[in-house]
Amino acid sequence: MSEKNLTQQDKQMAGSRETTRTDERYVAPPVDIFETDDGLTLLADVPGLDEDTLQINVDKGVLTLEGKAPMESADRLYREFSMAGYWRQFQIPDSFDTGQAKAEMKNGVLTLHLPKAEAAKPKRIEISVD
């Protein structure tokens, strides 16, 4: 594929840590991110993972999702299917309180709630009339 045909996301990924990891295959799980007055909600599609095989970390403002679905170790006569690991990172601002984050897994979908720090929440200033 020529450089002309690369999308902006492809160019960013080419220089990211994702391409310099081990030889093991990783997939960037698709996500939806919503922001409200209270915080962020991230939905990630990670089929095959559960609360024991998915790791969620925040370090120096970088949110990392990483996990590998376990494969059955039974003796196989033939194998074509192999699960790749999931790996995705996001830069998040300091205005979110990662210490209060909550994560839920249901049917292979991660729902992560990152509340805004109190100082970052919008505040209404009342006007007094004399």
Q: In the prediction, which pLDDT does 112 show?
A: 96
Alpha carbon 71 to chain centroid distance?
22
Question: CATH 2.60.40.790: does it fit domain 27-71+79-119?
Answer: yes
3-state secondary structure of 11: helix
Q: In the prediction, which pLDDT does 88 show?
A: 94
Ranges in the chain, pLDDT < 70: 1-24, 73, 120-121
Please report, for the chain, the start and end positions of each structural domain, with discontinuous segments joined by +: 27-71+79-119
User: If you search the block for the tokens 């994702």, which residue do you land on?
Assistant: 18
Q: In the prediction, which pLDDT does 126 show?
A: 85
Q: In the prediction, which pLDDT does 46 show?
A: 93
Q: In the prediction, which pLDDT does 114 show?
A: 93
- Against a cut of 0.75, is the pTM above it? no
| Cβ-defined contacts of 33-40 (< 8 Å, 24+) | 33/90, 37/116, 37/121, 37/122, 38/115, 38/116, 38/121, 39/96, 39/97, 39/113, 39/114, 39/115, 39/116, 40/92, 40/96, 40/112, 40/113, 40/114, 40/116
Q: In the prediction, which pLDDT does 109 show?
A: 95
